[in-house]
Amino acid sequence: MTTSKDKTADATASGAASGAASGKLTLAEILEILSGGRLPLRFTAYDGSSAGDPDAPYGLDLKTPRGTTYLATARGDLGFARAYIAGDLDIHGVHLGDPYELLKALSDDLVFERPPARVMVDIIRSMGVEHLRPIAPPPQEAPSGLRRVTSGLRHSKHRDAEAIHHHYDVSNTFYEWVLGTSMTYTCACYPTPDASLDAAQENKYRLVFEKLRLKPGDRLLDVGCGWGGMVRYAARHGVAATGVTLSREQSSWAQRAIAEQGLGDLAEVRYGDYRDVAETGFDAVSSIGLLEHIGVRNYPSYFRFLRSRMRPGALLLNHCITRPDNRSEPAAKGFIDRYVFPDGELTGSGRIITEAQDVGLEVLHEENLRPHYALTLRDWCANLVVHWDEAVAEVGLPTAKVWGLYMAGSRLAFEKGGIQLHQVLAANPHDDGRDGDLPLRPWWTP
């Protein structure tokens, strides 16, 4: 039986022998060595070399020496992203707005292994030491965490505002094309796998509304409210809803939508930091997609602040992306940190529940909506594909490629369980421990 190690050794020996014969390894030979001869797609390079199955449905074309430098000088997915976004690496067999199938092939079958030291020497010599010197990344990339200190300490108000601006102030028109009519940039909740995106987002708001036991005349605070989807849903059902967002583009869009829908008497979306909300005594607080931007070390102050804005007996619903364990390093890295969510941090649902409990909130229920986010991302990618030409005209090809790569990659991560989506429901108990006459069992429709 031929083992994986045998194949790797064969590929390494074959590539090294070829390089020895010619005096220099080609780029395709280098890739074959690093991948152990297990390329799941067709690879071509500017030096004229190629590798992999020529009939494979998906392919990569390394077009420039700059692309080699990007790939060689950044770990993990960052080098791939830089070369791809800069136009130095082309992908084939998939739409740029939804490269899911290509990424899935790479994720399922491509495993890089470090070759023996003598082979690494041949690789470096063949590739050229000039490609090991880092160069400027594409302009769409955010500065490194170290360089961001010029904007303030991590998760200070000013630096948080800069991070939110980087991701959310791309273009409201672009978001309308990707997110659909609901303008909701958080995980939907699909009543059936074939439900439409808009129906699933409406169902998500219905679920949050019911979990919070909201009724006409109540007051809701929605922190990190985005374009005001939850605020407007609550107002349509007779609830006085106040939303707050650090994105100026989101707040202006939301206020226009509130006015157009005749909800101004009940709904308001403010531009600002959630920590600046002065009102108290809310009947419920919703936080849908904000915790990812808070920073794990700030969880105690975050939950303490939200509790301070709730009346005794009020309910809190926290909806956010999580890791599948409570041990992983919380800081975002690589492509996601530099191109999508600067300063974003994820941790496990256990850590979130612990921090909520430790400030005095009583956790009542939690559930994982991981498969729903994979479906949501599938539908966002489909929207981007439909509106690809308009999206490129609106935000430029590099930014549009960032979004296709990010959403397709995130879909894959949710499908494989590398990231999850948890809703945690908690109550602000009365001083005497009373639960506010809550039903004995969950009271909402799943």
pLDDT tens per residue, range 218-250:
999 999 999 999 999 999 999 999 999 999 999
Q: Which distant-in-sequence residues (6+ apart) come within 8 Å of 231 by Cβ? A: 220, 222, 225, 241, 242, 243, 254, 258, 267, 268, 269
Query: What does each C-alpha distance from 411 to 151, 238, 406 come to in angstroms?
Result: 31, 35, 9
Mean pLDDT of 93-115: 91
Q: Which distant-in-sequence residues (6+ apart) come within 8 Å of 155 by Cβ? A: 294, 295, 297, 298, 343
Give me the pLDDT at residue 413, please.
96
Tell me the CATH class for 157-427: alpha beta
More confident residue, 430 or 9: 430
pLDDT tens per residue, range 180-222:
999 999 999 999 999 999 999 999 999 999 999 999 999 999 9
- Left (φ > 0), alpha (ψ -120 to 50) or beta: where does 435 sit? alpha
Is the predicted pLDDT of residue 150 greater than 70, yes or no? no
The domain ranges of the chain are: 4-132, 157-427
Give me the pLDDT at residue 143, please.
81
Is the predicted pLDDT of residue 1 greater than 50, yes or no? no
pLDDT tens per residue, range 290-316:
999 999 999 999 999 999 999 999 999
CA distance 71 to 82: 8
pTM of the predicted model as reported, rounded to 2 decimal places = 0.90
